[in-house]
Structure formats: C-alpha cells, structure tokens
A = this chain, B = another copy of it.
Amino acid sequence: MQSQNISDIIEKYLKSILAESQEVEIKRSEMAQLFNCVPSQINYVINTRFNIQNGYIVRSKRGGGGYIRIAKVNLVDDCDVLDELIGIVGESITFKESFQLIKSLFQADVLTQTTANLLLAVIDKKTLNFGDVELENMLRARIMKSILNRLKYDG
C-alpha cells in the first residue's frame, strides 16, 4: 500500500465523497477533529490536492456558519493549449502581445466579441498605467493568466 500519512487519508476521504456527488461541503474544524489533526492541515490538503490543475475549485466562507466547499469541474479539451499560453505569458506581457492573444482567442471562438472587447478594456494601458511600465506588464500578465486559467473549465 501507499504511504499512510494523514494528508493522503483526508484526500481519499474527500475524494470518496466526490465520487458520489459533484460537490462536498465541510467545516474545517470538524474535519480536523475527525482526523485528529490541526485545522490548517485541511488547508494543506486542499492546496496540494484540490487545486484547479486537479480539476477542482474551492470556495469558502469564514464566520458563523462558515464552510469549505470543494467542487469538481469539467476541464475543457484545450486545457493543455491554455497551459501553453500561460507559459508564454510568463511574468510580464505588453498590451500589444495581450491584444494579439485575446484576438486569437476570439478568432478561435473561445471568446465572444463582447467578452473580448471587455477584456481588452481591462488590460488597456490606460487601465493599468501606474507610471511604471514593468509593474504594468507584470500586472497584465497576472490578469491574463487568471483569464486563461478560468477558461480551462466552464460553469
């Protein structure tokens, strides 16, 4: 058998529930008690095993009635193409390059005209200009990568 560390056990437990349903909702502290670990270990498991690369999205709320919800998502077919584009964006990208990228996504029918135009407004030089071009391009890269990551799944 494989290693029996607590993180793996928690992962299996959550995935066994997710095998039956699309989504699972937990309370972090209850979970920690159930598996006799500190609450932050639940975060560790979620961060290392239930990220978007693995096909999961996580939403949570603090305060009274707080929760953590993990949901399976359907990754689109061109997932690896998007990953490639994310690599190309890197840590910094100009408006011109981003413009080309968004235009390509529109031409590939990944984005509608309206959506593409809105995104262009978002990454426009005027929107992101702070008198520091490097900061601007860095910020634009993060925005572009968020967009590409979001395009990996629908719903």
Contact = CB atoms under 8 A, between A and B. Distances in A.
A63 interface: yes
A87 interface: no
A3 B118 contact: no
A3 B151 contact: no
A114 B117 contact: no
Given A2-B25, A122-B147, A142 B154 contact: no
A12 interface: no
B154 A117 contact: yes
B151 A118 contact: yes
When all copies of this chain in the complex are counted, the total is 2
A45 interface: no
A149 interface: yes
Bin the interface of chain A by size: 35 or more
A5 interface: yes
Contacts of A67: 3
A131 interface: no
A8 interface: yes
B147 A121 contact: yes
A127 B64 CA distance: 27
Interface of A: 1-5, 7-8, 23, 25, 61, 63-65, 67, 69, 112, 114-115, 117-122, 124, 126-128, 139, 142-143, 146-147, 149-151, 154
